[in-house]
């Protein structure tokens, strides 16, 4: 039996005794946002599942901002929910403020975001794991994998305990060989003061997994009672809270409102002066940090250095919960020493007397090259080994949870002898996320944004259930309650669309309503659906001329309005997606030797050989592969098909 070759017994004078502790179908290493969704999905699909956490207080840890959702990320959460995941339900139970971002933009850009009660979110997710049938949650440090004949067979704990498993999901977050940096000080450690997972990193290298260093960071925490909120701008939540979970949306809402405010302030010239004057003491600019950081969430010293013309940068004060006075300083992550942190934070209006409870820090950690994974998130070199979350080069809780869900589903399906569950780019942001990772790789921490989705009008947050709930039902992940709620919702929306098309008003009936909104008068009797297509008209306001409308839940009204108002654009994107579907359906034979394909350029041979795409559509998105290369590939696939047909004949 082979293993990573580095567990404790080989480094100690007295060999540690290993002992058997049981067998599972699926074992998940890590109980962060990826690990929680992976374990729940596998267990709900009937597989006996083990999930290990270095510390049970780190389950679903919000090591960075105490929030779920955001631009592009909110769509991921609603998709996770539509597929039967837990994140949407957990944030609905624990939010203290909820807002819809980008309300002034089109529906493709709108994204829900909620501030969480950080401690309650952890407790809620931990309870979900503890109460799930087929699932055991345990505290323990995995230090090695058992691999035999190129297939994973289980794992070894620091204590010597061996757990057998037919599939293992790595969801190690930022713990893998983690190193914390605060100014000139650095030490081995994971996020929020938890230990690092160093021995597992060495074991993975021993198994041939190529690891690379990424980095992320977090700002200081302050006590809210020490802040001068009168010098800041209050950021209130929405008056009408839209649930993340469709289960709650189908039930008519959450029945509770926002209970906290966030606050906006700005950096000053003095802030920038202090940071620039101490760059040499920053771990980032002082040369201590070697890992690659996230481009779209830079540290404050990076912002000030890279954008010298910006006179100020926004700073958001976000409460961490209702049972704590700690607040998070959004937009101000840093690797500066504590004395410099205190100086520049206190130069910001409202933070002059700030009392700090925790310093900001940067953390370096090991990740893998996602090009070594297939679309199911199974590792190409070790059968039965799946990878999810920040290990795969992503940033953010939502991206991690989405990958965890898919890894858990696919591990369970593999053990059942069923084909993998894959989502296309026109079906879900989750499909975009995973396709980007396994096709293009990640040279820096990947963050989901609406701009990454070419079919983003089809992938709105409001219609994730229409796109995915039937798929979840087919998998066995959607409960009967959820499926019945979805069918009622779908019927209600479709009925309302028909009613709006069939109901019309006369020019006289609509005159005052249209004039009051600066809209042109009607020249003839017109359907309500046509009036709703006007940019200045919205569904809610149209109740003035639509007295017979039925009572619909808020999420149904939003979706009905979007389907009518953007009907032409939606049809156009659907047609584009349909044209591309032909390439996605053209599978590439396993084991195809790209090096032997005549007419294929050298770069294309190398790139395609490294990625091993499963379809022509995926091959067309590999960086460095041209349309001419795809044409050559199609010719070879067709020749191979004809040869096979000839032999069969």
pLDDT of 644 reads 67
More confident residue, 295 or 279: 279
Q: What percent of the chain has pLDDT over 70?
A: 97
Crossing angle of helices 567-584 and 554-565, rounded to 10°: 80
Q: What does 253-314 look like in DSSP terms, one character per residue? A: --S------EEEEE--HHHHHHHHHTGGGSTTTTT---SBPPTTS--HHHHHHH-TT-S--E
- How many helices and strands (H and E) does the chain possess? 20, 23
For residues 298-325, give the mean pLDDT: 95
For residue 627, pLDDT beyond 90 = no
- Which among 316, 344, 364 is the end of a domain? 364
Same domain, 633 and 515: no
For residues 423-439, give the mean pLDDT: 96
Same domain, 565 and 503: yes
Residue 193 binned pLDDT confidence (cut-offs 50, 70, 90): very high
For residue 394, pLDDT beyond 90 = yes
For residues 3-27, give the mean pLDDT: 72
Q: Which residues of 430-454 are buried (b: 16+ CB within 10 A; e: fewer)?
A: bbbbbbbbbbebbeebbbbbbebbe
Residue 597 belongs to a domain: yes
pLDDT in tens, 196-226: 999 999 999 999 998 999 999 999 999 999 9
What are all long-range contacts of 563-566, with beta carbons under 8 Å and residues at least 24 apart?
A: 563/493, 563/497, 564/497, 564/500, 564/529, 564/532, 564/533, 565/532, 565/533, 566/106, 566/107, 566/457
- Range of the structural domain that residue 353 is part of: 221-364
- Which among 316, 336, 364 is the end of a domain? 364
Residue 372 belongs to a domain: no
| Helix or strand (DSSP H, E) at 616 | helix 616-620
Task: Measure Cα distances from 301 to 104, 273, 284, 311, 549 in Å.
Answer: 31, 11, 8, 14, 54
For residue 290, pLDDT beyond 90 = no
Same domain, 354 and 272: yes
Residue 339 belongs to a domain: yes
In this structure, what DSSP letter does residue 437 have? H
CA-CA-CA-CA dihedral for 107, 115, 478, 384, to nearest 10? 100
Q: What percent of the chain has pLDDT over 90?
A: 84
Closest CA to 122 of 321, 378, 376: 321
pLDDT of 292 reads 86
Same domain, 590 and 570: no
In this structure, what DSSP letter does residue 11 have? T
CATH of the domain at 314: 2.40.30.260
For residue 597, pLDDT beyond 90 = no
Same domain, 528 and 608: no
Residue 26 belongs to a domain: no
Residue 6 binned pLDDT confidence (cut-offs 50, 70, 90): very low
Residue 413 belongs to a domain: no
For residue 4, pLDDT beyond 70 = no
Q: Cβ distance 27 to 50 under 8 Å?
A: yes
pLDDT in tens, 242-252: 999 999 999 98
pLDDT of 90 reads 98
**Token representation of residue 312:** 């100020």
pLDDT in tens, 46-59: 999 999 999 999 99
pLDDT in tens, 543-573: 999 988 999 999 999 999 999 999 999 999 9
Same domain, 561 and 590: no
pTM of the shown model:
0.94
In this structure, what DSSP letter does residue 540 have? T
Q: Mean of the per-residue pLDDT values for the chain?
A: 94
Residue 596 binned pLDDT confidence (cut-offs 50, 70, 90): confident
Same domain, 537 and 509: yes
Residue 267 binned pLDDT confidence (cut-offs 50, 70, 90): very high
Residue identified by tokens 């201590």 is 288
pLDDT in tens, 435-487: 999 999 999 999 999 999 999 999 999 999 999 999 999 999 999 999 999 99
CATH of the domain at 570: 1.10.10.1800
Residue 564 belongs to a domain: yes
Residue 9 binned pLDDT confidence (cut-offs 50, 70, 90): very low
pLDDT of 168 reads 98
> Structurally, how many domains does the chain consist of?
3
Same domain, 354 and 231: yes
Closest CA to 587 of 626, 637, 645: 637
For residues 359-365, give the mean pLDDT: 97
């Amino acid at each position: 039996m082979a293993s990573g070759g580095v567990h404790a017994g080989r480094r100690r004078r007295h060999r540690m005794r290993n002992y058997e502790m049981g067998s599972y179908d699926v074992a998940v290493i890590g109980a962060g946002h990826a690990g929680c969704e992976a374990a729940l999905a596998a267990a709900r699909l009937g597989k006996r599942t083990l999930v290990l956490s270095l510390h049970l207080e780190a389950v679903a840890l919000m090591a960075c901002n105490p929030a779920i959702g955001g631009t592009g990320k909110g769509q991921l959460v609603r998709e996770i929910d539509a597929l039967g995941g837990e994140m949407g339900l957990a944030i609905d139970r624990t939010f203290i403020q909820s807002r819809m971002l980008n309300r002034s933009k089109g529906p493709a850009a709108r994204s829900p975001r909620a501030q969480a009660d950080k401690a309650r979110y952890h407790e809620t997710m931990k309870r979900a794991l503890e109460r799930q049938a087929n699932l055991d949650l345990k505290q323990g440090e995995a230090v090695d994998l058992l691999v035999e004949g190129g297939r994973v067979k289980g794992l070894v704990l620091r204590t010597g305990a061996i757990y057998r498993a037919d599939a293992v999901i790595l969801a190690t977050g930022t713990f893998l060989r983690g190193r914390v940096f605060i100014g000139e000080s650095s030490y081995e450690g994971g996020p929020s003061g938890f230990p690092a997972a160093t021995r597992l990193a060495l074991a993975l290298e021993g198994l041939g997994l190529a690891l690379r260093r990424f980095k992320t960071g977090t700002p200081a925490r302050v006590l809210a009672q020490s802040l001068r909120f009168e010098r800041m701008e209050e950021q209130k939540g929405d008056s009408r809270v839209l649930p993340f979970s469709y289960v709650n949306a189908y039930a008519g809402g959450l029945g509770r409102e926002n209970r906290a405010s966030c606050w906006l302030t700005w950096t000053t010239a003095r802030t920038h002066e202090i940071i620039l004057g101490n760059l040499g003491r920053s771990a980032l600019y002082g040369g201590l940090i070697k890992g690659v950081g996230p481009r779209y969430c830079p540290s404050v010293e990076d912002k000030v250095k890279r954008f010298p013309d910006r006179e100020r940068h926004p700073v958001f004060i976000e409460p961490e919960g209702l049972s704590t006075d700690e607040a998070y300083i959004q937009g101000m992550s840093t690797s500066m020493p504590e004395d410099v942190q205190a100086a520049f934070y206190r130069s910001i209006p409202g933070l002059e007397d700030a009392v700090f409870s925790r310093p900001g820090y940067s953390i370096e950690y090991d990740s893998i090259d996602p090009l070594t994974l297939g679309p199911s998130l199974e590792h190409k070199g070790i059968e039965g080994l799946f990878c999810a979350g920040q290990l795969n080069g992503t940033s953010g809780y939502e991206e991690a949870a989405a990958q965890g869900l898919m890894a858990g589903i696919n591990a369970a399906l593999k053990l059942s002898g069923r084909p993998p569950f894959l989502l296309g780019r026109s079906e879900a942001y989750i499909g975009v996320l995973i396709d980007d990772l396994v096709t293009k790789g990640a040279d820096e921490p990947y963050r989901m944004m609406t701009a990454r989705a070419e079919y983003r009008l089809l992938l709105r947050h409001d219609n994730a259930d229409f796109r995915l709930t039937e798929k979840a039902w087919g998998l066995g992940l959607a409960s009967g309650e959820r499926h019945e709620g979805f069918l009622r919702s779908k019927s209600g929306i479709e009925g309302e669309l028909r009613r709006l098309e069939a109901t019309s008003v006369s020019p006289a009936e609509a005159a005052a309503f249209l004039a009051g909104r600066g809209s042109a008068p009607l020249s003839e009797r017109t359907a309500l659906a046509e009036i709703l297509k006007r940019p200045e008209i919205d569904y809610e306001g149209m109740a003035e001329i639509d007295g017979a409308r039925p009572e619909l839940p808020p999420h149904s009204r939003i979706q009905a309005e979007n389907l009518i108002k953007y009907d032409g654009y939606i049809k156009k994107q659907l047609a584009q997606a349909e044209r591309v579907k032909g390439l996605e359906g053209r599978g590439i034979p396993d084991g195809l030797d790209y090096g032997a394909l005549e007419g294929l350029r050298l770069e294309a041979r190398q790139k395609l050989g490294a990625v091993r795409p499963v379809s022509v559509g995926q091959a067309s998105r590999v960086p460095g592969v041209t349309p001419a290369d795809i044409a050559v590939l199609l010719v070879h696939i067709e020749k191979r098909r004809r040869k096979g047909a000839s032999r069969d004949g």
